């Protein structure tokens, strides 16, 4: 059940989020003792860098202040993107998770099973999952209707080129994902 306050905030921020090319994934108003927090989770196919999120956060903060939706009491605004533990519940979530590791509870051949695999391309309502085990790759095509629960998982290893190629990534995307992280 969405609160009246969250609904009012959503009416203010959703048009700005959409115009910026993002999807509103989650909006929470939290009231821990002594403070108020507004947490807005956004995502888009191209992902988002810190500068883009900071700009969006400023735009959303300005709009909320102008609308007076949150009243006079101070609050903290957090604008973020989904991360580890992101549930994969919509086709856009699967599309955006290509190449990421996921924990998937599903039904395969009538049996309930759990697996950890890399998300491959989504074609129609079927996603390809790529599992690497001791240098061998296995591929499972899974109908989304057979997924009971799926979340993006922590990935402590850099996947090999063959694994990423099996996920359907092109040369540029493979090179980007295999490059050392900048600090």
* 27 and 59 housed in the same domain: yes
Res. 183: pLDDT tops 60: no
> What CATH number corresponds to the domain at position 168?
2.30.30.180
Same domain, 23 and 46: yes
Instruction: Clarify whether residues 159 and 95 are in a common domain.
Output: yes
pLDDT category, 182, cuts 50, 70, 90? low
**pTM score, whole prediction:** 0.80
For residue 62, the domain's CATH number is 3.30.300.70
In this predicted structure, the answer to whether residue 86 has a pLDDT above a threshold of 90 is: no
pLDDT recorded at residue 1: 45
pLDDT at 73: 85
Burial class, 40, CB count within 10 angstroms (exposed 0-12 / middle 13-18 / buried 19+): buried
Query: What is the residue range of 47's domain?
Result: 4-80
If one compares 30 and 180, the residue with the highest pLDDT of the two is 30
Residues 101 and 157 in one domain: yes
pLDDT for the residue numbered 181: 58
Q: Which comes out higher in pLDDT, residue 92 or 176?
A: 92
Examine the domain organization and report whether 128 and 162 are in the same domain. Answer: yes
Residue 176 has pLDDT above 50, yes or no: yes
Higher pLDDT, 179 or 115: 115
- Which of 48, 80, 112 is at the close of a domain? 80
pLDDT score recorded for residue 2: 58
Give the whole-angstrom CA distance, residue 104 versus residue 118.
10
Same domain, 51 and 108: no
Q: What's the mean pLDDT in 42-50?
A: 88
Burial 71-97 (b: 16+ CB within 10 A, else e): eeeeeebebebbeeebebeeeebbebb
Mean pLDDT of 159-177: 88
Is the same domain home to 13 and 43? yes
With a cut of 70, say whether residue 180 has pLDDT above it: no
């Amino acid at each position: 059940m969405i609160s009246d306050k969250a609904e009012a905030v959503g009416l203010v921020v959703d048009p700005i989020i959409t115009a910026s090319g993002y999807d509103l994934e989650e909006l929470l108003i939290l009231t821990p003792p002594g403070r108020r927090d507004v947490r807005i989770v956004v995502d888009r196919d191209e992902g988002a860098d810190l500068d883009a999120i900071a700009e969006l956060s400023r735009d959303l903060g300005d709009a909320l202040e102008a609308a007076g939706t949150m009243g006079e009491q101070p609050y903290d605004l957090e604008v973020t993107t989904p991360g580890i533990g992101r549930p994969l519940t919509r086709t856009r979530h699967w599309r955006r998770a290509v190449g990421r590791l996921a924990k998937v509870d599903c039904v395969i051949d009538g049996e309930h099973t759990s697996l950890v695999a890399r998300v491959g391309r989504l074609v129609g309502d079927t996603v390809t999952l790529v599992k690497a085990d001791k240098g061998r790759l296995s591929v499972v095509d899974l109908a989304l209707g057979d997924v009971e629960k799926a979340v993006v998982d922590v990935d402590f290893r850099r996947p090999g080129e063959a694994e990423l190629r099996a996920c359907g990534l092109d040369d540029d995307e493979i090179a980007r994902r295999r490059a050392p992280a900048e600090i």
